[in-house]
Amino acid sequence: MWPQLIRYALPSFTNNWLTLMKTTALVSIIGLEDIVYTALSAGRTSQKPFVFLLTVLIIYLALMAISDIVLRLVERRYNRGVTFPQGRFHA
């Protein structure tokens, strides 16, 4: 019973998780705006702002990619054995 309920809740949960990661605090400690502001400040001091902003970009994309991959794997696990109607695309 639980796997069936989880299967229906996962797409909504995945969407909410990724939205929260993008709009609120990353790792629940430092917000994205704080990270970008710190990177800009460090870049101004060292005269290399793109190095710091590129580092922030890579860290942020890594967090998003890891979250997306893990949630897709979980969704695939709970959709195992489920048949979908003809013509519906599902990854």
What average pLDDT is seen over the chain? Answer: 76
Q: Phi, psi (5° rounding) for residue 88?
A: -90, 125
User: What gap in Å lies between CA 78 and CA 2, rounded to an integer?
Assistant: 10
CB-count burial class (<10 Å; 0-12, 13-18, 19+) for 39:
buried
User: What gap in Å lies between CA 80 and CA 57, rounded to an integer?
Assistant: 34
Q: Model confidence over 23-58: pLDDT tens digits? A: 665 454 556 667 778 888 888 888 888 888 888 888
- pTM for this prediction: 0.58
**Whether 26 contacts 61, CB under 8 Å:** no
User: What gap in Å lies between CA 16 and CA 29, rounded to an integer?
Assistant: 19
